[in-house]
Chains A and B, each alone.
Chain A
Amino acid sequence: MEFILSILIGVLFTAAVYLILSRSLLKVILGTGLLSHGAHLLILTMGGLGGSAPPVLIDGITDFADPLPQALILTAIVISFGVTAVILVMAYRMYAVHQTDNMNELRGNDEHD
């Protein structure tokens, strides 16, 4: 299973990086979304996909899934949500002010060269 997941994560990263390298601001944000999904799955996979029960104490069951990666991912999900929200609003404001979503045109002032 880890083999399949590793390839899926690779695909997610490829797609994410491809989108991030594009010129459209929207695609860049979509790319960051894919990137965080890939990272979360990566953490989960690295913890090991074995384990026959969720990590909740129930009498008689000892083969839990690893709880630590799950806790880490939970934190990461919330943080990436916060960051995504900020980026979205930032993109919205940027478009409102500069009237463009072309990354090539968002280059700062020439005076600072």
Chain B
Amino acid sequence: MEFVLLIFLPVIFALFVPLAYKRIKGIHTGWFVLLVPLVLFGYYAGFLPLVMDGGHAISELQWIPSLGIVFTSYIDGLSLLFTLLITGIGSLVVLYSVFYMDSKKENLGSFYVYLLIFMTAMLGVVQSDNTMTLYLFWELTSISSFLLIGFWYTKDKSRFGALKSMMITVFGGLMMLGGFILLNIMGGTFSIRELIAQAPELANQPYFMLALVLILLGAFTKSAQFPFYIWLPDAMEAPTPVSAYLHSATMVKAGIYLVARFTPIFGSSSVWIWLVTGIGLLTLFWGSFFAVKQTDLKAILAFSTVSQLGLIMSLLGAGAISYHTTAAIFSFATYAAIFHLINHATFKGGLFMIAGIIDHETGTRDIRKLGGLMSIMPISFTVALIGSLSMAGLPPFNGFLSKEMFLESMAALQHFELYNFDTWGILFPIVAWIASVFTFTYSLYFVLKTFIGQKKFEQLPKQPHEAPIGMLAAPMILASLVIIIFFIPNLVGKWIIKPAVMAVQPTLYASPSAVDIHVKAWHGFGSVGLWLTVGVIVFGTLLYLTIPKWQPFYRIQPDRLSLNAGYDALMRGSERGMNRVSRLYMTGKIRTYLLYMFAFLSVSIIAVLFIKDAFIVDMNSFAAITLYGVLNGLVLLLSVGFVVFAKSRLAAIIALGGVGYSVALFFVIFKAPDLALTQLVIETVSVALFLLAFKHLPALQTHGETASHKVVNLIVSLSVGVMVTLVALSSHSQKLIPSISQYYKDTVATEAGGGNIVNVILVDYRGFDTLFEIAVLAIAGIAVLGMIRLRVSRKEPTDENK
């Protein structure tokens, strides 16, 4: 079987969800949906032995073969790890949502359709080997995330959060697309594997740095790195299963995946190491620092997610150093990143579910109203405590192992003697350590303020009680994983992490078993990590105990200087600015638009004439000047002057007639009898028509035109006149090919049997022109008749205009 089709299994299943939702009322729709991630998880788990031996599997489905765009399912260590996360946590989230989402109150049909679309999109992102399909699925995750955040679309905050996340992630997605296209230009292929094979040549290409920055922008916006993290806290308006799934375990890790996947291509660049490590650490610190400020349970978790993503990101950056040095500690960093990624998915998913349970059972997520829930919700408390302590980095939980590895990697950075790391490197462990202290503090803050302390049940909207066991099942499974992984880290390492590390750094290892790392909980008293952890616990506890004293300091930062205010100002400002700009030039007055057109036309044509040296006057090709011609020219000039400067409309009309008759005289002088005839007749009729119509029109008025208006008009009209004269002179002087008219002159008698060449051209050689000219006249006649006869009274303003 082509297992690439499995990517589309969720979205195909989604087609039947509304049917099940409408027809089968008795059973919660989630139970049917649960089948999909379970089946996928089981199937993909079957790849574990293959990947463990360093192998990979690939399955392709041609989409646009002429452009080299293929749907691929490429399973190696890294994509298998993410696939298992997506399907595994996906199953638990669906199970949780069965109990969380009320089948009577919520529109479950849409909910599960969006969720399944998201699942397909996410599987596509992590399994695509083709950058174009990777981008396709990437944007599909943005769209389905938008739909899920705005699920309760009647709430303003949901719509705001959905729009914000959409704007930011789609911005990053587009940047990433630019990076992919540059990679294609440089490497000539969309396939990531083939690009990785060319990595050394790519590094010398001119677009290399631009592609690097663009792709990192995509990863940073998706993974909520500084300063793009601002969409994540607002995305907490989504239903809690969505927050647990998308905004902690899977979608926000798409950026991490991207960085890990492209490390073999860009990792050798110092910009990559500095940006990924630096931004990651900054995000880690920023997120952990502001998490303690939050009062909403989900907001605390959102900031904590931001900070943990920063941690993983900085480890990936440090891991890329292993391209420059053989020190084992840096390949150790990649291992730590992937290990922490798994750990974070387990404990953060569980914590989100607990936050949802608290919300569900007490009616509020405000930490100031909660307290003392321990005795009432013992199971939730246990799960929350396990998750929080793992997040804080305490034994015996998996967070301890990865946090200790993180601190050791950061401490090692200062010994790296390239790219100024030996001068600035000392900052890395310091920032990392301070951030870890804050992490410890907010972990305690989250769990203790909620479950311990004063009971304030009278403030709660609902009387609290323990959640049903079905709702607790998923977080309990995750919490037990947290503990299990602590005790068997090397088994997880052998099965999942080492193949993934090999995928991130394929040139360094021959097979997963060559990754020489053995995780231990106890490194002896000599290890740096141990003492750093002890420091974290001591200072973190101190900070937690003194929270009431220093939390008010957060208020020093004014709201209008925050990043959110910056985003709002940008959105509002661009809307207003664009509005102002378009109002500036779209005045609604026809004169303004005509000025633009005439000025542009004359200036551009005159400029082209002189830039291209096209202005040439060849007097030899001109016909001789005749007396009649000059006299008639003077008459024409005079009449034009009268038309322009006439004070009464009658004078203007007669002067216009004068222009027409002198044009007719020119036709006589230049041997065009038919034209002269037509011009005389038409001019007469026109003047009559003008007189007829002007009888009903008001006298000539200036309508308060100012002198400056007139000067501008004069300048523009003069430039148009000059332009026409120059074009006429130079085009007449440079005829490149002879006229076709000789053919008409030669054949008019023999082919058409006529003597008047103009008339024969009109009805024989070019009869079609004449046919449609007649049509124009007929339409004009009908229009005139219609406008005179139809008496449609002005309608009252309709509702649309109100």
> Considering the complex, which residues of chain A in the window 41-75 have a beta carbon less than 8 Å from any beta carbon of chain B?
41-42, 44-58, 62, 64-68, 70-71, 73-75
Taking the complex as formed, is B98 at the interface, i.e. its CB lies under 8 A from any CB of chain A? no
List chain B residues, Cβ under 8 A from A85.
686, 689, 780, 784
In Å, the complex CA distance between A88 and B718 comes to: 26
Closest chain A CB from B636 CB (angstroms): 6
Q: Are A103 and B589 in contact (CB under 8 A)?
A: yes
Looking at B289-297, B317-325, B662-670, the stretch in contact with chain A turns out to be B662-670
Asked whether any CB of chain A lies closer than 8 Å to the CB of B758, the reply is: yes
- Asked whether B696 lies within 8 Å of A65 as measured between CB atoms, the reply is no
Q: Which residues from B are CB-within-8-Å of A7?
A: 725
Contact of A65 among B625, B659, B670, B794 (CB under 8 A): B670
Bound form: Cα–Cα A103–B705 in Å: 11
Q: Which residue of B698, B702, B787 is within 8 Å of A89 (Cβ)? A: B787
**Do A89 and B623 touch (CB < 8 A)?**
no
Verify B705–A30 contact, CB threshold 8 A.
no
Q: What's the least CB distance linking A70 to chain B, in Å?
A: 5
A52, closest chain B residue (CB)? B671
Give, as a whole number of angstroms, the nearest-CB distance from A108 to chain B. 7
B652: which A residues are within 8 A, CB to CB?
26, 30
Structural contact, A108 and B724, CB atoms closer than 8 A:
no
Bound-state Cα–Cα, A80 to B28, Å: 73
Residue-wise interface mask of B (398-425) relative to A, using a CB-CB cutoff of 8 A (1 in contact, 0 not): 0000000000000000000000000000
- With A30-B656, A83-B780, A102-B703 as given contacts, are A95 and B794 in contact (CB-CB < 8 Å)? no
Contact of B670 among A8, A49, A83, A89 (CB under 8 A): A49
Give min CB distance, B694 to chain A, whole Å: 7
Complex interface residues of chain B between 696 and 742 (CB less than 8 A to chain A) = 696-698, 700-705, 713-714, 716-718, 720-722, 724-725, 728-729, 731-732, 739-741
**Closest chain A CB from B312 CB (angstroms):** 50
Of residues 640 to 695 in B, which have CB atoms within 8 Å of A's CB atoms?
A: 640, 643-644, 649, 652-653, 656, 659-660, 663, 666-667, 670-675, 678-679, 682, 685-686, 689-690, 693-694
Q: Which residues of chain A from 71 to 113 have any CB-CB distance to chain B below 8 Å in the complex?
A: 71, 73-75, 77-79, 81-86, 88-93, 95-97, 101-104, 106-109, 111, 113
Taken together as a complex, chains A and B put the C-alpha atoms of A56 and B794 apart, in Å, by 55
B739 touches A55 (CB 8 A): no
What's the Cα separation between A7 and B703 when bound, in Å?
31
Determine whether the beta carbon of A71 is less than 8 Å from that of B666. Answer: no
B732 adjacent to A22 (CB under 8 Å)? no
Among the listed B591, B694, B749, which residue makes an inter-chain contact with A21, where contact means beta carbons less than 8 Å apart?
A: B591
| A66 CB, min distance to chain B CBs, angstroms | 5
Given A30-B652, A77-B678, A95-B696, A11-B758 contact (CB < 8 Å): no
Range, interface on chain B: 35 or more
Task: Answer whether residue B62 sits at the interface, using C-beta atoms and an 8 A cutoff.
Answer: no
A11→B637 contact, CB < 8 A: yes
Question: If the complex has contacts A10-B721, A19-B644, are A26 and B674 also in contact, measured as CB distance less than 8 A?
Answer: no
Whether the pair B784, A56 counts as a contact (CB closer than 8 A) is no
Contact B698 A67 (CB under 8 A): no
B367 within 8 A of A: no
Closest residue to B761 on the A side, CB-wise? A71
Say yes or no: A46-B643 contact (C-beta < 8 A), given A89-B787, A108-B588: no
Main secondary structure of the interface of B (DSSP, over half): helix
Whether B724 and A37, one on each chain, are in contact in the complex, defined by CB atoms closer than 8 angstroms, is: no
The answer to whether A107 and B588 have CB atoms under 8 Å apart is yes
Of B621, B740, B784, the residue contacting A86 (CB under 8 A) is B784
CA distance A75 to B777 in the complex (A): 11
Q: Which stretch of B66-74, B352-360, B430-438, B626-634 is in the interface?
A: B626-634
CA of A74 to CA of B685 in the docked complex: distance in angstroms?
16
In contact, B643 and A78 (Cβ under 8 angstroms): no
Known contacts A10-B724, A92-B696, A95-B698, A33 near B672 by CB under 8 Å: no
Contact B702 A24 (CB under 8 A): yes
Residue in B671, B732, B761, B783 whose CB lies within 8 Å of A53 = B671
Partner of B686, one of A81, A91, A96, A107: A81
Choice from B716, B728, B783 contacting A46 with Cβ under 8 Å: B728
A15/B629 in contact, CB under 8 A: no
In-complex Cβ contact of A68 among B716, B739, B801 (8 A): B739
- Alpha-carbon distance between A85 and B794 when the two chains are bound, in angstroms: 24
Contact of A74 among B674, B690, B718 (CB under 8 A): B674
Q: Does B603 contact A (CB under 8 A)?
A: no
B1 within 8 A of A: no
Cα distance A22–B626 when bound, in Å? 36
Cβ of B598 within 8 Å of any chain A Cβ, yes or no, is yes
Quote the shortest CB–CB distance from B596 to chain A (angstroms): 11
Q: Assess the A77–B656 pair: CB atoms within 8 A.
A: no
Give chain A residues whose Cβ lies under 8 Å from the Cβ of B700: 24, 26-27
B686–A17 contact, CB under 8 A? no
Interface residues in B51-69 by Cβ distance below 8 A to A read none
Instruction: Say yes or no: B721 contacts A54, CB within 8 Å.
Output: no
A10 touching B659 in the complex, CB below 8 Å, given contacts A1-B622, A21-B713, A30-B643: no
B713 to A, closest residue via Cβ:
A21
Q: Are A44 and B693 within 8 A (Cβ)? A: no
Q: Are B756 and A45 in contact (CB under 8 A)?
A: no
In the complex, what residues of A have CB within 8 A of residue B732's CB?
2, 6, 45-46, 48
A14 adjacent to B783 (CB under 8 Å)? no
* Min CB–CB distance B235 → chain A (angstroms): 35
User: A55 contacts B757, CB within 8 Å?
Assistant: yes
Q: State whether A70 and B674 are in contact (beta carbons under 8 Å apart), knowing that A13-B721, A103-B590 are contacts in the complex.
A: yes
What is the CA–CA distance of A94 and B637 in the complex, to the nearest angstrom?
Answer: 32
CB distance from B601 to the nearest CB of A (A): 10
Task: For A108, list chain B residues within 8 Å (CB).
Answer: 588
Query: With A and B bound together, what is the CA distance between A7 and B617 in angstroms?
Result: 13
15 A-B residue pairs with Cβ-Cβ distance under 8 Å, sorted by A, are A4-B629, A5-B633, A10-B724, A11-B640, A13-B721, A18-B713, A30-B653, A44-B667, A48-B732, A54-B672, A67-B744, A74-B674, A85-B686, A86-B787, A101-B697
- Since A56-B673, A57-B756, A102-B701 are in contact, a sample of 10 more A-B pairs with Cβ atoms closer than 8 Å, ordered by chain A residue number, is A1-B622, A2-B622, A17-B598, A21-B598, A21-B717, A46-B728, A51-B671, A65-B671, A91-B697, A103-B589
Pairs A-B, 4 closest by C-beta atoms: A14-B721, A10-B725, A82-B780, A17-B717
